[in-house]
Structure 1
């Protein structure tokens, strides 16, 4: 049971982890993108359409990334260059994509494409206990592992990451140094949207193998919440994402084993459990990026 729970936590939590890493980058640059859910929906549907059209799930994944990036670029253009309200614009983008994906996805409801499936890492997948949990997963899960390290390194060890963090803290100083903070925010938000699109296409193409309306089920909003409660730290954002995956797996295992638990309570369990634990771990949180606070307060 424990191995099933932990393996499910990794597999399901990756659908939260990918947009959470994207939102982490975005918020460190001083922008909150509530349109993350819309970018995930765009990635999920586009991935299915491309996968069915070409017969290649990997082309579907790539198309999903581009779709998520395009949605985030639209949001970033409005917020960064036109000065619109961040929260309102994010919600509008979500509503827009919810409607568009529901309309254009109707003919794809029920159509199935072979999911990417799992890849066992030779040697490592045979290790006792951890082998089946960490090394017998989808290739996108392994990409998620790499992205955890990559985002951490980018933000803490690279000059690009320094510019992103400085833009989130002191955009005027960044501008005085000869850089363009608004362009940095635009590009970082677009990159974050690409990771959200990857999360959506992983869900539709990599796990489920089909499309259904609103299939992301609020995962984008959970990703935004995970980043905030994790205090903009990569390690805690990772913990929060996999925790949510564990809660979903636990709820599904209760159902599969015939426990007489109210269905609505089971549906709420992952969100409730994640919220409680993130509140606990955020007790030692650090301050939000100043530009993020200023932008939200100004609106």
Structure 2
């Protein structure tokens, strides 16, 4: 069919041996897809419209919600295409770009969680200077730096994918493209593509998680020094949502990285489940956590829905 096997498109497997059940499997996937878009979209609208949420903490939360929406829009169309339409082919360019956005946005999300930890650190350790340290200009600079770090750092390994020949199997064991899966199909020396991501994960995701852990140790030390028990509880309560999102993100990322690097004897189904958890679970849970645990978000949601409810009634 293809005269040059290197130019043949990649084939996405979906769920091997469960092809007959793809339409049923698509139901929970589509439900999660819609929930992610609605949940994070609502957060973005709320933060944009509610003046009381125009603070650094919620600007970073808006960045987190926007990142989750983009990574979901990047991955889910091919997943639903396989499950609904049995559309398995994806071009090299399309596959590489999808992998680029997935991995770049993972680094962006890690950086964003680090920025949110910095926000909580300043708010609790140095509350009197909070407004002067985290100005709107500073937030913009941090945001630009976070996105630049994510999208620039992933570029070297993705650019190398374009130069490889692919003369082995073109079958990818997912319904979306990941760099680790694509590079295994290359008929070339992939030493750089094996080593660079390990170094990058250490310098970004792993290092970010260590800095976040250290910042919360300092935060906890400060909170324990507060005389009033009520004030201690109030200070810690502002961190619960962020800590929950941090745990969900880093546990899934580290778990997936560990399985991909060292789980050669792990069943393929575990690889697949961890991959889907990696890009679906954090975006699904982040808006839920902040809606449940953050009083300002709860009040903002009440005002938002009350505004639309009463605003839609005709005037008498």
TM score, norm. by length of structure 2: 0.32
Q: Which structure exhibits the higher relative contact order, with contacts defined as CA atoms closer than 8 Å and separated by 6 or more residues?
A: 1
TM score, norm. by length of structure 1: 0.33
